[in-house]
Amino acid sequence: MHYKPEGFTIGALAAAADVGVETIRFYQRRGLLNEPDRPPGGVRRYGKQDVARVRFIKAAQQLGFSLDEVNGLLLLDDGTHCDDARVLAEHKLAMVKDKLAGLRQIERALSDMISQCKSSRGNVCCPMIMALQS
């Protein structure tokens, strides 16, 4: 019978978490993920908790949290800091709402410029280009 070591190699961890190996290494350099000890003559092994941690980091990033903010959330991971995590999420939500308001303003401006372009066929100057130059 052939002995198979427990845990994930860095490549298997990356595959299980649906990221690249360089992402794992980057998270380690940023202090978001611990690098396990290498046994003498062996390969570092990661556990299921490491897969969950990488997935958590990616999920938080998809919600717009920066890596510094993700690190803050990870520090609150003992379950007793729900109020602190909520405050961070409320702050992030306010930032997202501000960005959305800005994007809506850009959308209106672009729509207006496009409408002006459609209605000014045959003019010498393009209204959109003129608006961007002023």
Find the CATH number of the domain harbouring 32.
Answer: 1.10.1660.10
Angstrom distance (rounded) from CA 49 to CA 130: 57
- Assess whether pLDDT exceeds 60 at residue 107: yes
Does residue 49 surpass a pLDDT of 70?
Answer: yes
Question: What is the pTM assigned to this prediction?
Answer: 0.73
Per-residue pLDDT, 126: 76
Query: Is 5 contained in some domain?
Result: no
Please indicate, yes or no, if residue 68 is contained in any of the structural domains.
yes
pLDDT band at 105 (very low <50, low <70, confident <90, very high): very high
Structural domain for 32, as ranges: 10-133
Closest CA to 57 of 79, 32, 35: 32
Contacts of 30 (CB under 8 A, 6+ apart): 67, 71
